[in-house]
Structure 1
């Protein structure tokens, strides 16, 4: 931990050293200008009916959003404050709902309502290099915890089973308007607090190339562990996706996840998991749109997805949703989703099923 602190301190000193005596008064003042504070919020209220009617009213544990069956509930209620000081910034977000209850269940109770808590500083004068430290959204994937930012109401299997958030330090460099590069040192695979008994930080990278406002490619990685030192198995993960606006009305997103983890400490063989998703969206108008999604996820040794049968996880799915934007900040959505697994992993009354069908509606408000 002391090494991490020294590295971060050195980077901050480097950024402040750019304010040499020869720097203009305007450049120096930019670091100490009076900050502005902006507040925002988000609320996603939903009702979902799982046709398997699980006995405990909870949907499968590998689905972290919209987790309740046959109940009106809050998936995510979020209040955020953003401080902009020109050459520095800070974010604090506090949340409630079934999403944080499910997704942060492994964190200490006092941390489970934190959506974001980070500070950042520009390390060079042209603002192209930033260091952010704290709790922040993950660099992996194209789907946010905020449903209004996504093309589908529910999240894909690849999104639900890769990190939504990380804690540590992130260095972001924008060498041009088209390229963005990032390097991360974090506490682990979706961890605010590091796993007990682990002293090894985890690392990540992100490379984004934006061809135009209509086309973008992204590649993100994670290298680290989710084990204590005594049983440490190294994990290597790659997430790639492309997002394309083919016409004014038609959009397409395609993503692939591949992960490897040592079968045991010191072993050269690895367990492998794989996932892919394809989403097509059609906008009828400024207020009406629809999207369809096909997806597949395989984790034969259950590195990421754990089922009650422990026979491996292999699931394909299809969904279709219709969206109505009653106002620029109000999002009304209806979705039907079908999942089919190679094993009977879905609770159905007192039995288990290979299939799962969900009908869900949501009204979300951004303010």
Structure 2
């Protein structure tokens, strides 16, 4: 009987797929992505250990796999869904330990024209940079992006009727959580507006209780804003920043509200369609460590991360869906934060060199 039921269910599924496939509006899209790397850091750790505050190419003096992913999306115009699985060092460095291989898994229905309700596991709606190198001008991400959420679970309502304006409303488990650590939920929003073909502005936020159930309530309100400006065909720029507050979180005054902020400026120049260079300047200040974690400085005092960095990268893109990149980056933390190891000597600076190449594809089927 179980075999009969299984065969019947499979036949029903095939009939549904066949019926939907006869609808000209049904689109199935298959995607894939591979990125490999070699990296070298002045901060010396044990072999195979991952560098702190690094999402891409996190292992020193190693050939590695940043990511191998495959996914599928399905859209009938009334129902849609996405499923993406992943493997590699990006997932090892950033993702949920329990759901490390699941990048996205969600389904949605169109409530009314241009308004969708989706539910499941999503990538974050916050930030100017993606955790995937293919979506950025540089492969590495800034420290602010490293401390932003990468993933979330819950539901979202999105408005997609306008070519210039987008809006999303999120109800999620929490900040960078698939499974919640308390009985409260977090709410967030995304608003973006495209002024013209050259300039667009986006604002995102997330508010909720981030402390465990049996501890003092720590309510976090996170804000992100960024502007993209492409003044001509050769130059592209991004300027953005984050600001967050959290109650009951100051190190020296536990009942007071702590503040974190950061800023980033990115500029890319295209020599030709295939060759480009990008520079990025960043600053991060989480003096109470409620997002970046608490460190101990050389005076034995507890404090959060305060650091700046500059990155310079070169890219060769033989096709629109492939790239070869070389990047170097200089990071310097607060002078009292000797958090890096240079040949056995503690230091507040780190240099890095990364070369990586990637290829991605998408195949759309009707």
Partner Cα distance (2:209, 2:90) in 1: 24
1:243 match: 228
Task: Return the offset for 1:215.
Answer: 1.1
2:266 match: 279
**Which digits, 9 at most, give the CA deviation of each residue in 1:91-119, with x for residues without a partner?**
00000001111212x532xx111010001
Q: Does 1:122 align with 2:110?
A: yes
RMSD of aligned Cα (Å): 2.1
Work out which of the residue numbers 137, 142, 152 in structure 2 matches 1:166. Answer: 152
Where do 4+ consecutive residues of structure 1 move more than 6 Å? 29-32
1:210 match: 194
2:101 match: 113
Q: Does 1:47 align with 2:31?
A: no
Q: Does 1:253 align with 2:243?
A: no
Gaps of 5+ in 2: 1-18, 297-301, 362-366
Work out which of the residue numbers 164, 174, 177 in structure 2 matches 1:188. Answer: 174
1:329 match: 321
2:357 match: 363
Q: Mean alpha-carbon deviation: is it higher for 95-104 or for 46-55?
A: 46-55
Work out which of the residue numbers 80, 101, 111 in structure 2 matches 1:89. Answer: 80
Task: Return the offset for 1:31.
Answer: 12
1:179 match: 165
**Which digits, 9 at most, give the CA deviation of each residue in 1:263-286, with x for residues without a partner?**
259x87311111100001101111
Partner of 2:183: helix, strand, or coil? coil
Task: Return the offset for 1:191.
Answer: 0.7
Q: Paired residues, what number?
A: 331
Work out which of the residue numbers 211, 219, 223 in structure 1 matches 2:207. Answer: 223
Partner of 1:229: helix, strand, or coil? coil
TM-score, normalised with respect to structure 1:
0.85
TM-score, normalised with respect to structure 2:
0.86
Partner Cα distance (2:90, 2:229) in 1: 28
Partner of 1:277: helix, strand, or coil? strand
Partner Cα distance (1:168, 1:107) in 2: 18
Task: Return the offset for 1:63.
Answer: 2.0
Evaluate the alpha carbon distance shift between residue 151 and residue 284 of structure 1 in structure 2; reply closer, same or farther with a 3 A threshold: same
Q: Contact 2:39 / 2:354 at 8 angstroms: preserved in 1?
A: yes
Evaluate the alpha carbon distance shift between residue 366 and residue 82 of structure 1 in structure 2; reply closer, same or farther with a 3 A threshold: same
**Which digits, 9 at most, give the CA deviation of each residue in 1:309-360, with x for residues without a partner?**
2432110110100000022222100000000001111233333211000010
Partner Cα distance (1:244, 1:188) in 2: 31
Task: Return the offset for 1:154.
Answer: 0.3
Work out which of the residue numbers 302, 319, 332 in structure 1 matches 2:311. Answer: 319
Partner Cα distance (2:220, 2:59) in 1: 31
